[in-house]
Amino acid sequence: MAKAILTERAKNDIYDIWLYIANESMRAADDVMERLLKRTDDIADTPGQGRERPEFGPGIHGVVEARYLILYRIRTDGVYVMRFIHGARDFENVRAEGGLEE
């Protein structure tokens, strides 16, 4: 089974997601994190899932899991997960924040 490579920004995103949800329920936070990480492994096993998201940059794909948009790039050495973004976020602000480079 292939493993996705999480960028530092993606690691920070998933940690922030866990902290936010854990404020209400650690179990729910663990469940969401598990779902997101499992989905990244699924993406690594079968790259190209979801659709291209050119609004975030060339070669960026997006898949939705548990209300989060997982943004990733396919490279010759693997799948790089760039960001985990809640679906309610303003994507224009996300683009302005950056973090979509390796």
Reference 17, options 61, 73, 70; nearest CA is 70
The answer to the question of residue 86 being in a domain is yes
Instruction: Look up the CATH number of the domain holding residue 24.
Output: 3.30.2310.20
With a cut of 90, say whether residue 1 has pLDDT above it: no
The answer to the question of residue 30 being in a domain is yes
**What confidence category does residue 66 fall into, taking pLDDT thresholds of 50, 70 and 90?**
very high
With a cut of 70, say whether residue 99 has pLDDT above it: no
The answer to the question of residue 75 being in a domain is yes
- Quickly list DSSP for 52-71: E-GGG-TTEEEEEETTEEEE
The answer to the question of residue 25 being in a domain is yes
Specify whether the backbone of 78 is left (phi greater than 0), alpha (psi in -120 to 50) or beta. left
- Mean of the pLDDT values across residues 67-84? 94
Domains: count for the chain: 1
The answer to the question of residue 49 being in a domain is yes
What percentage of the chain has pLDDT greater than the value 90? 76
Report how far residue 58's alpha carbon sits from residue 75's, in angstroms, rounded to the nearest whole number.
12
Whether the Cβ atoms of residue 48 and residue 79 lie closer than 8 Å to each other = no
- Condensed to tens digits (0 to 9), the pLDDT of residues 11-52 reads 999 999 999 999 999 999 999 999 999 999 999 999 999 999
Q: Which domain holds residue 60?
A: 5-97
Which tokens sit at 75?
């490279």
**What confidence category does residue 4 fall into, taking pLDDT thresholds of 50, 70 and 90?**
very high
Whether the Cβ atoms of residue 6 and residue 14 lie closer than 8 Å to each other = yes
